[in-house]
């Protein structure tokens, strides 16, 4: 289902930030191999959020071959630490190669395995977190990190409006039709559970932006 009109989509694409050389190579690989990426429209938002939060510790739940992380890297503080997680060893190796070529590898930790287990191995709090792993586990991931986000920090969740979900049913659910989720897949129910969880936490303020595949942005305010 298209979440934007054709004119709006064209306008956002035309006004989105441009890829650098490495990002263009990554985007070309994604297109050739049918690999979903957030794209420059949402990527620009990630860059801005990293800049606004003056992010010094960033953690991704599901990094693929590192495309979204390159946008974070453009906005994060010069002394920032970036943690990438991926269960696919080959994709993580690709991410490592791309980051070595961009000169960012020395500020990046590449972790292989289940992100929900890996985050427990990293001490300290975070300024910026991205959920882009299994959609049915978003709420669980939020529960793991909600107390570890600095005040002023941000949590971003991808695929809120498009991807392996039934957006029509999710839209009906958002208006109060709880039965709309009956018979939907685990990912659709997982996005709903995540939105319920993050919006119910009074320490966070959440908005949904219809860029890319739809991202939920939650800022910790207290």
pLDDT over 90 percentage in the chain:
97
Confidence (pLDDT) at 172: 97
Cα dihedral sign, 205-210-165-154: negative
Q: What is the pTM of this model?
A: 0.95
110 contacts 90 by C-beta, under 8 angstroms: no
Strands 108-112 and 204-209: unpaired
At 206, phi and psi to the nearest 5? -125, 135
DSSP-assigned letter for residue 204: E
Give tens-digit pLDDT for 108-157. 999 999 999 999 999 999 999 999 999 999 999 999 999 999 999 999 99
Residue 154 pairs with which residues in a beta bridge? Answer: 128, 219
CA–CA gap between residue 61 and residue 133 (Å, rounded): 6
CA–CA gap between residue 135 and residue 155 (Å, rounded): 15
58 contacts 85 by C-beta, under 8 angstroms: no
Residue 2 pLDDT > 80, yes or no?
A: no
Q: What is the mean pLDDT of residues 160-188?
A: 96
Of the pLDDT bands very low, low, confident and very high (cuts 50, 70, 90), residue 4 is confident
Give tens-digit pLDDT for 71-94. 999 999 999 999 999 999 999 999
CA–CA gap between residue 142 and residue 135 (Å, rounded): 12
Q: What is the mean pLDDT of residues 160-166?
A: 95
Q: Which residue in the block uniquely carries the two structure tokens 């190579």? A: 25
Q: What is the mean pLDDT of residues 168-184?
A: 97
CA–CA gap between residue 92 and residue 172 (Å, rounded): 37
Confidence (pLDDT) at 34: 95
Of the pLDDT bands very low, low, confident and very high (cuts 50, 70, 90), residue 1 is low
Confidence (pLDDT) at 103: 92
185 contacts 168 by C-beta, under 8 angstroms: no
> For all residues of the chain together, what is the average pLDDT?
96
Residue 70 pLDDT > 80, yes or no?
A: yes
């Amino acid at each position: 289902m298209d979440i934007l009109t054709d004119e709006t989509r064209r306008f956002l694409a035309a006004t989105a930030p441009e890829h650098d050389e490495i990002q263009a190579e990554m985007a070309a690989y994604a297109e050739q191999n049918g690999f979903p990426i957030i794209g420059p429209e949402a990527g620009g938002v990630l860059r801005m959020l990293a800049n606004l939060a003056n992010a010094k510790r960033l953690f991704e739940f599901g990094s693929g071959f590192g495309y979204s992380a390159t946008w974070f890297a453009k906005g994060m503080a010069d002394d920032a630490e970036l943690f990438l997680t991926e269960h696919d060893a080959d994709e993580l190796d690709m991410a490592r190669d791309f980051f070595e070529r961009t000169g960012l590898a020395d500020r990046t930790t590449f972790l292989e395995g289940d992100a929900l287990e890996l985050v427990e191995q990293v001490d300290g709090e975070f300024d910026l977190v991205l959920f882009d792993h299994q959609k049915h586990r978003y709420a669980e991931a939020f529960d793991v990190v909600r107390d570890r986000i600095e005040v002023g920090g941000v949590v971003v969740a991808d695929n809120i409006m498009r991807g392996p979900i039934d957006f029509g049913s999710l839209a009906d659910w958002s208006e109060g039709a709880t039965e709309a989720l009956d018979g939907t897949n685990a990912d659709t129910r997982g996005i709903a559970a995540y939105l319920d969880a993050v919006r119910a936490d009074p320490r966070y303020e959440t908005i949904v932006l219809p860029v890319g595949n739809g991202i939920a942005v939650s800022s910790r305010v207290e």
